């Protein structure tokens, strides 16, 4: 009886899930016919679970199609007619080489006029470093025709705003006034640039002001980090020096230094008179012809001076350990592109791809930047910011971040991973989103007469012309995923880095760790 029961069990067909790679019907057909039949894998319980998980992920990635058009970086309608209708920039070059550029907005009731000079701290020597910034302070301290009081009262009475700033390659003096005060503003600018008196007593008094300003700058940690970054990345070159200069130079700069700097660098071919708002080009040109008549016509250009002392990028680092500081901060930078480099636009797009994030602002989990998402979700940073700085012959491209001491290793890994990843894997959607963000930020920045005048003056000094917004947008739209990967392989893949760090940074990985992660091992 037991033997008969075993035989009946042996003849019973096995359930489908015990037949590997064949169903029950396929097994019967194979027994009846020797011809091969198609093999169909069984549907396992795990396959059902995997399909359910994939469906949930798809619903998260691809929400209701009615709302997809709002999340997609690809616009349904790209209309650039407003960009093409922007006011034209008119440029006139005078006989002495001085350029006058204007953009008229007749609907405006205010105007910004200024002088943009192709001269900065880069064109100083080791002994005169800080002269350009010192001159910026002294330029408002009275002229041969106006005392300090008269100068200040004239600006105050017209309700205007007079300001100046100095960078490593450019110096700017500008005034923002009402439309009917444009001739007065140009007269003041011409007077202070050509007839400054440089009284010895005021020079000595201004030394203390600049030394106090240096103390204030030392309290701004971001400024300090970028000064150290330039000092280590461009060491032994003029671009590595600070704008304010060392305190020893501030105490020894004399009237002769200031006058020599003006006669050497404040020349007509290296200057641009820029105006925007309620101005007329012909009127501004006539005023400039009458007012700016004492400028030097030395034909030496800033590019020729840069060629004599070019900036050389050096892979290096500087670390200032201060355990008393609550937060650590560091910047990692690669050698970037110059203003006129064809890949400078692609680096701007890559900067938008890396993005910026601040813990106090919130958000981050749904930002387009994967680096910002990592910082927000994992809470490994207080803030981070990608930067792309351009100069005449070089640049700096990298990320600046602030974090708690115990998060430095995770944050450093996230930064280097996302930077290096652009050499290997880039999606078209991320590039398109970054292009849209870049175009939007450029347009939002040009909101007002002062940013427009600044944009005109800077572009004429760097490019020799003002690039129209339509042309700039076309160049940005031309950047795609393959372009980003090519540019990343040029500037990032297996390239030296410069690091500046300050604060409780004992847990920040060493230089070789950063250098090793400029490339990924893929097999």
Least trusted range by pLDDT, from 110-119, 201-210, 365-374, 462-471: 365-374
Residue 2 has pLDDT above 50, yes or no: no
Amino acid 77: pLDDT? 58
Decide which of 287, 308, 329 is a domain's last residue.
Answer: 308
* pLDDT at 365 (0 to 100): 74
Q: 401 lies in a domain?
A: yes
Residue 2 lies in a domain: no
Whether residue 294 sits in one domain with residue 209: yes
Last residue in a domain, options 308, 335, 358: 308
The contacts found for 39-43 with CB under 8 angstroms, 24 or more apart, are: 42/16, 42/17
**Residue that is written with structure tokens 């880069």 in the block:** 122
What are the helix (H) ranges across 176-246?
182-194, 200-218, 221-233
CA gap 292, 214 in Å, rounded: 33
The reply to whether 196 and 303 lie within a common domain is yes
**C-beta neighbour count of 138 within 10 angstroms:** 22
Contact of 502 with 325, CB cutoff 8 Å = yes
Q: Please report the pLDDT score of residue 39 as a whole number.
A: 57
Place of tokens 């230094």: 257
Spatial neighbors of 424 by CB under 8 A, at least 6 apart, are 485, 520, 522
| Residue 81 counted as domain residue | no
Q: What is the average pLDDT across 270-285? A: 95
- Whether 68 maps to a domain, the answer reads no
Do 278 and 303 have their domain in common?
Answer: yes
> By mean pLDDT, which of 94-98, 218-222, 285-289 is the weakest?
218-222
Please state, in angstroms and rounded to a whole number, the distance separating the CA atoms of residues 300 and 100.
19
The one catalytic residue among 103, 126, 127, 136: 136
What percentage of the chain reaches a pLDDT higher than 90? 68
**Count of the separate structural domains present in the chain:** 3
- Same domain flag for 107 and 191: yes
Q: What is the pLDDT of residues 148-193, one digit of tens each?
A: 899 999 999 999 999 999 999 999 999 999 999 999 999 999 999 9
Residue 240 structure tokens: 């590595």
Backbone angles phi, psi at 13, to 5 degrees: -65, 145
**Cα separation, 508 vs 76, whole angstroms:** 45
Q: How far is CA 321 from the centre of its chain?
A: 27
Tally the C-alpha atoms within 13 A of residue 408's C-alpha that lie toward its C-beta.
21
How far is CA 87 from its chain centroid?
A: 26
- Residue in the block written with tokens 């002269």: 131
Query: Quick one: tokens of 143?
Result: 């002229």
Among 446, 488, 497, smallest CA distance to 468 is for 446
Choose the final residue of a domain: 244, 274, 308: 308
pLDDT at residue 17, as a whole number: 40
The pLDDT confidence band at residue 23, using thresholds 50, 70 and 90, is: very low
Tell me if residue 99 falls in helix, strand or coil.
strand
Q: Which of 152, 154, 206, 370 is catalytic?
A: 206
Residue 6 clears pLDDT 70, i.e. is over it: no
Q: Is the pLDDT of residue 326 over 80?
A: yes
Q: Which residue has the higher pLDDT, 1 or 41?
A: 41
Residue 286's closest CA among 296, 275, 300, 277? Answer: 275
pLDDT at 276: 95
Question: pTM of the prediction?
Answer: 0.83
Contacts of 417 (CB under 8 A, 6+ apart): 517
Strand 99-104 relative to strand 110-117, pairing: unpaired
* Residues 437 and 473 reside in one and the same domain: yes
362 — pLDDT class (breaks 50, 70, 90): confident
Residue 347: predicted pLDDT: 97
Q: Is 80 inside any structural domain?
A: no
Residue-level pLDDT at 85: 65
Examine the pLDDT at 290 and tell me if it is beyond 70.
Answer: yes
CA triplet 26, 27, 32: central angle to 5 degrees? Answer: 95
Same domain, 267 and 198: yes
Instruction: Enumerate residues 6+ apart whose C-beta is below 8 A from 350.
Output: 386, 388, 397, 422, 434, 484, 487, 488
Q: Are residues 402 and 328 located together in one domain of the fold? A: yes
3-state SS, residue 24: helix
Read off the pLDDT of each residue in 342-369 and give the average, rounded to a whole number: 89
522 domain residue, yes or no:
no
Q: What is the 3-state secondary structure (H, E, C) of 425-481?
A: CCCHHHHHHHHHHHHHHHHHHCCCHHHHHHHHHHHHHHCCCCCCHHHHHHHHHCCCH
Alpha carbons 330 and 104: distance in angstroms, whole number? 43
Distance of alpha carbon 362 from alpha carbon 357, whole angstroms: 8
pLDDT reported for residue 60: 54
pLDDT at 76 over 80: no
Specify whether 170 is located in the same domain as 246: yes
- Whether 136 is a known active-site residue: answer yes
Q: What confidence category does residue 65 fall into, taking pLDDT thresholds of 50, 70 and 90?
A: low
Asked, for residue 431, whether it belongs to a domain, the answer is: yes
| DSSP string over 374-419 | HHHHHT--SEEEEEEEE-SS-EEEEEEEEE-GGGHHHHHHHHHHHH
When pLDDT is averaged across residues 465-490 and rounded to a whole number, the result is: 93
pLDDT of residue 55: 72
Q: How far is CA 157 from CA 113, 195, 434, in A?
A: 18, 22, 46
Mean of pLDDT over the chain: 86
In 204-346, beta strands by DSSP E: 271-277, 316-321, 328-335
In this structure, what CATH number is given to the domain that contains residue 455?
Answer: 3.30.830.10
Look at residue 87 in the predicted model and tell me its pLDDT. 82
DSSP conformation class of 128: T
Between 20 and 284, where is the model more confident? Answer: 284
| pLDDT at position 474 over 70 | yes
| Predicted local distance difference test score (pLDDT) of residue 172 | 95
Residue 521: predicted pLDDT: 74
Token digits of residue 352:
């938008």
Containing structural domain, residue 397? 316-516
Which residue do the tokens 């020599």 mark? 260
Say if residues 276 and 112 touch (Cβ distance below 8 Å): yes
- Give 428 or 6, the one with higher predicted confidence: 428
Q: Measured between alpha carbons, how far is 354 from 70 in angstroms, rounded to an integer?
A: 22
Are 349 and 470 in the same domain?
Answer: yes
| Mean pLDDT for the stretch of residues 439-451 | 91
254 and 300: one domain? yes
Split at pLDDT 50, 70, 90, the class of 480 is very high
């Amino acid at each position: 009886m037991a033997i008969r029961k075993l035989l009946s069990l042996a003849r019973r067909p096995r359930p489908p899930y015990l037949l590997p790679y064949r169903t029950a019907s396929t097994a019967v057909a194979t027994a009846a016919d020797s011809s091969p039949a198609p093999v169909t894998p069984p549907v396992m319980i795990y396959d059902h679970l995997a399909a359910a998980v994939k469906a949930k992920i798809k619903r998260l990635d691809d929400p209701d199609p009615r709302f997809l058009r709002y999340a997609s970086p690809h616009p349904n309608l790209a209309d650039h007619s407003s960009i093409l209708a922007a006011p034209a920039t008119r440029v006139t070059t005078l006989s002495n080489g001085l350029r006058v550029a204007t953009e008229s907005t007749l609907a405006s009731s205010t105007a910004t006029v200024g002088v943009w000079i192709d001269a900065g701290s880069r064109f100083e020597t080791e002994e005169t470093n800080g002269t350009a910034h010192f001159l910026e302070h002294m330029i408002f301290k009275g002229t041969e025709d106006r005392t300090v009081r008269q100068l200040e009262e004239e600006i105050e009475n017209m309700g205007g705003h007079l300001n100046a700033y100095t960078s490593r390659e450019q110096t700017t003096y500008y005034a923002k006034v009402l439309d009917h005060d444009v001739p007065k503003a140009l007269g003041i600018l011409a007077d202070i640039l050509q007839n400054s008196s440089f009284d010895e007593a005021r020079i000595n008094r201004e030394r203390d002001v600049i030394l106090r300003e240096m103390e204030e700058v030392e309290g701004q940690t971001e400024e300090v980090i970028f000064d150290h970054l330039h000092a280590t990345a461009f060491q032994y070159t003029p671009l590595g020096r600070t704008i304010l200069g060392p305190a020893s130079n501030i105490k020894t700069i004399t009237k002769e230094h200031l006058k020599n700097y003006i006669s050497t660098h404040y020349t007509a071919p290296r200057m641009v008179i820029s105006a925007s708002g309620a101005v007329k080009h012909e009127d501004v040109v006539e005023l400039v012809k009458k007012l700016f008549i004492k400028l030097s016509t030395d034909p030496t250009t800033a590019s020729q001076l840069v060629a004599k002392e070019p900036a050389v990028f050096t892979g290096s680092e500087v670390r200032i350990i201060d355990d008393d500081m609550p937060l650590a901060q560091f910047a990692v930078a690669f050698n970037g592109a110059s203003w006129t480099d064809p890949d400078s636009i692609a680096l701007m797009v890559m900067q938008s791809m890396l993005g910026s994030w601040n813990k106090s602002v919130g958000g981050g989990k749904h930002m387009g930047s994967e680096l910002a998402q990592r910082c927000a979700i994992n809470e490994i940073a207080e803030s981070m910011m990608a930067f792309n700085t351009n100069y005449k012959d070089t640049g700096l491209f990298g990320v600046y971040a602030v974090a708690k001491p115990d998060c430095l290793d995770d944050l450093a890994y996230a930064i280097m991973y996302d930077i290096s990843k652009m050499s290997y894997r880039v999606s078209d959607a991320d590039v398109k989103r970054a292009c849209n963000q870049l175009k939007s930020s450029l347009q939002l920045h040009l909101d007002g007469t002062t940013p427009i005048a600044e944009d005109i003056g800077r572009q004429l000094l760097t490019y020799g012309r003002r690039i129209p917004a339509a042309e700039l947008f076309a160049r940005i739209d031309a950047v795609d995923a393959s372009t980003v990967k090519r540019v990343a392989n040029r500037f990032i893949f297996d390239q030296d880095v410069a690091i500046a760090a300050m604060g409780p940074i004992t847990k920040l990985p060493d230089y070789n760790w950063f250098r090793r992660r400029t490339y990924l091992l893929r097999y």
